[in-house]
């Protein structure tokens, strides 16, 4: 089964998922994706061992070039990431690959906005072209249904994570559970960095001996993070560096105002960290159970975040058990489980089936 995945930006977690799929017998996997760019780009090494072509900005936006690269791979099934990259959309809608089944990944959450309600008028033809829609979770499942995708054509689980890097972390952390918070993600407004810093500052005023907050990432709001009392900025880190960082912390915080799903949340919980998570995070539906393996807080509410951080602070003795439960909820999204789900459905939809 020749599977061609046409993707946008590469990441450590998607590379792990693709590698697990490539290890399935009877799968010949090829990946076409955007070449990493900028100071905060993932290393090309994360794609090691995969058959892939990483496209520079000129090639990725050349619809004829993309189509020819896909066509030469003689795919039995092609995967594209949504509807936002015109060359991938053109390949799906064109006549050259008309006999090839197509699969689309969606992570956008259903909001009920007029733009989404009218989305069927704009992308209905493309949606109908798909043989399978793979959604991130329940919220994007609802979006797919609003676009009139039949339930039989929807699979949950567009994202997974590299669990092999994290298996040792939970047990090792039990030796001396850290008293510190961790945030991993971009330093941009949609991640609610302002809420994170405001809530953390309020927490510091509520307790004696406040825990430090470590931030890992990069972006336009880096200066605000660097200047905040009690906050340590590790900057952007490559995937192999993250397990040791996760090991040094006792609770994870992600309070985005916009978060389609949140793989960083799954990775942190897989490492055995209880999480504080805003309701806006799509993955909160699948992963977080309030006061069981983490805390849910209202979106854009720094006061609620401060109270949640204080709760973690005051219940340090419960964090290890909450972390054990957190890992149980994350495990279904490990790359190996991801590959099993995709393999079974791609077999059903591929041209050689």
Structural domains of the chain sorted by starting position, each given as residue range(s) with its CATH number in brackets = 2-160+334-349 (3.40.50.2000), 163-333 (3.40.50.2000)
Beta bridge partners of 5: 31, 79
Task: Kindly tell me if the per-residue pLDDT of 353 is higher than 90.
Answer: no
Residue that the structure tokens 């829609």 belong to: 133
Write the DSSP symbol of residue 259: B
Q: How many residues does the chain have?
A: 353
For a pLDDT cut of 90, what percent of the chain falls above it? Answer: 94
pLDDT band of residue 53 (cuts 50, 70, 90) is very high
Mean pLDDT of 345-351: 86
List pLDDT tens digits, range 18-44: 999 999 989 999 999 999 987 667 888
Mean pLDDT of 320-339: 98
- The confidence score (pLDDT) of residue 42 equals 85
How far is the C-alpha of 77 from the C-alpha of 188, rounded, in Å?
Answer: 36
Mean pLDDT of 242-261: 97
Task: Kindly tell me if the per-residue pLDDT of 327 is higher than 70.
Answer: yes
Question: pTM of this prediction?
Answer: 0.95
Write the DSSP symbol of residue 316: G
- The confidence score (pLDDT) of residue 339 equals 98
- The confidence score (pLDDT) of residue 40 equals 64
- Cβ atoms within 10 Å of 131's Cβ, excluding its own: 18
Quick check: 173 and 166 in contact, CB under 8 A? Answer: no
pLDDT band of residue 158 (cuts 50, 70, 90) is very high
Task: Kindly tell me if the per-residue pLDDT of 214 is higher than 80.
Answer: yes
- Give me the half-sphere count of Cα atoms (radius 13 Å) on the Cβ side of residue 265: 30
């Amino acid at each position: 089964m020749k599977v061609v995945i046409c993707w946008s930006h590469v990441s450590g977690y998607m590379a792990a998922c693709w590698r697990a799929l490539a290890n399935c017998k009877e799968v010949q996997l090829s990946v076409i994706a955007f070449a990493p760019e900028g100071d905060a780009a993932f290393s090309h090494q994360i794609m090691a061992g995969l058959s892939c072509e990483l496209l520079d900005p000129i090639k990725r936006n050349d619809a004829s070039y993309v189509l020819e690269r896909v066509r030469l791979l003689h795919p039995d099934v092609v995967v594209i990431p949504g509807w936002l990259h015109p060359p991938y959309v053109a390949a799906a809608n064109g006549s050259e690959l008309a006999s090839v089944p197509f699969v689309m990944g969606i992570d956008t959450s259903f909001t009920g906005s007029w733009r989404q309600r009218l989305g069927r008028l704009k992308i209905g033809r493309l949606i109908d072209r798909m043989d399978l829609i793979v959604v991130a979770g329940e919220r994007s499942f609802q979006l797919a249904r609003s676009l009139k995708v039949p339930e039989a054509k929807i699979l949950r689980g567009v994202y997974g994570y590299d669990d092999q890097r994290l298996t040792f972390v939970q047990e090792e952390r039990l030796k001396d559970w850290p008293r510190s918070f961790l945030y991993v993600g971009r330093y941009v407004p949609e991640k609610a960095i302002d809420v994170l810093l405001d809530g953390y500052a309020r927490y510091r005023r509520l307790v004696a001996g406040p825990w430090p907050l470590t931030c890992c990432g990069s972006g336009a709001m880096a200066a605000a993070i660097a200047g905040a009392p009690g906050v340590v900025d590790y900057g952007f880190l490559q995937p192999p560096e993250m397990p040791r960082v996760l090991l040094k912390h006792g609770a994870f915080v992600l309070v985005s105002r916009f978060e389609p799903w949140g793989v960083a949340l799954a990775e942190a919980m897989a490492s055995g960290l209880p999480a504080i998570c805003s309701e806006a995070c799509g993955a909160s539906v699948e992963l977080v159970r309030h006061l069981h393996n983490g805390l849910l807080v209202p979106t854009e509410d720094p006061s609620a975040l401060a109270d949640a951080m204080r709760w973690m602070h005051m219940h340090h003795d419960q964090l290890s058990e909450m972390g054990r439960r957190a890992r149980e909820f994350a495990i279904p999204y490990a790359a190996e489980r991801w590959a099993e789900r995709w393999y079974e459905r791609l077999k059903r939809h591929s041209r050689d089936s």
